[in-house]
Structure 1
Amino acid sequence: MSLLSPLLDHMPPAVTGTDSPKVDSRPRPRLVLAARVERPAQFMTGPHANAATATREWRQARDQYLNHIMVCRSCYAPNGRHCTAGADLRASYDATPMEAHQ
């Protein structure tokens, strides 16, 4: 005997063999797209700039800047705090174009 049995004494017993609720046998309406809607593209599908497609000069400037701030105890990039060398490397990195002008 469990501790919950006195709580369940007032409930009627489950009856087996009762019919389930009636299910509507009519076919349900289906939604279909009547005509295809042409929408303009939300994003540019052309080539985009990233480190793999960047110029060699930009990658070199980025690598020099990152290599410096990773070892320099005076530089802290999230706050924009740089030593003299770090500030020069950051300025060079910012000034170097990522894409070659065509």
Structure 2
Amino acid sequence: MSLLSGLLNQIPPTIAGADKPTRANRTTDRPRLVLVERPAQLPASTYTNAATATPEWRQARDQYLSHIMVCRSCYAPTARYCLAGADLRASYDRTPLETHQ
């Protein structure tokens, strides 16, 4: 007989599910979740994205992205561009995303 089996023989057997609380106790102990209605954070008219941007901005963006995806000299994460890439990036930065009314 090993030392481990001797220790295990002294521990009383556990009954499955004896340590779990009953269903009635579980529901009273748990905090209740309530759905809270919140107003929209931004009105839809003031939110600007690529879908609502000006055609000029989309064209500048597309030209810039098309160039940096194929140019081996350009590396956007470190802002390293060839001459053409730098011009396209400057044009992209200058072009307004939305029209001001």
For normalisation by structure 1, the TM-score amounts to 0.64
Question: Aligned partners of 2:39, 2:55: CA distance in 1, in Å?
Answer: 31
Q: Structure 1, unaligned stretches of length 5 or more?
A: 16-27, 29-39
The reply on whether 1:67 has 2:60 as its aligned counterpart is no
Question: Aligned partners of 1:88, 1:8: CA distance in 2, in Å?
Answer: 77
Question: Aligned partners of 1:64, 1:78: CA distance in 2, in Å?
Answer: 17
Greater helix fraction, Structure 1 or Structure 2: 2
For normalisation by structure 2, the TM-score amounts to 0.64
Aligned residues: CA RMSD = 3.3
Q: Quick check: which has more Rg, 1 or 2?
A: 1
Secondary structure at 2:10's aligned position in 1?
coil
Q: What per-residue deviation string (whole Å, max 9, x for no partner) do you get for residues 39-69 of structure 1?
A: x968222420100000000000000000000
The reply on whether 1:78 has 2:77 as its aligned counterpart is yes
Question: Aligned partners of 1:76, 1:7: CA distance in 2, in Å?
Answer: 65
Q: Structure 2, unaligned stretches of length 5 or more?
A: 16-27, 29-37
Q: What per-residue deviation string (whole Å, max 9, x for no partner) do you get for residues 15-46 of structure 1?
A: 9xxxxxxxxxxxx7xxxxxxxxxxx9682224
Query: Percent of counterpart pairs with the same letter?
Result: 66
How many residue pairs get matched? 82
Equivalences for 1:20-99 in 2 at 5 Å?
A: 43-47=41-45, 48-99=47-98
Give the letter aligned to residue 9 of structure 2: D
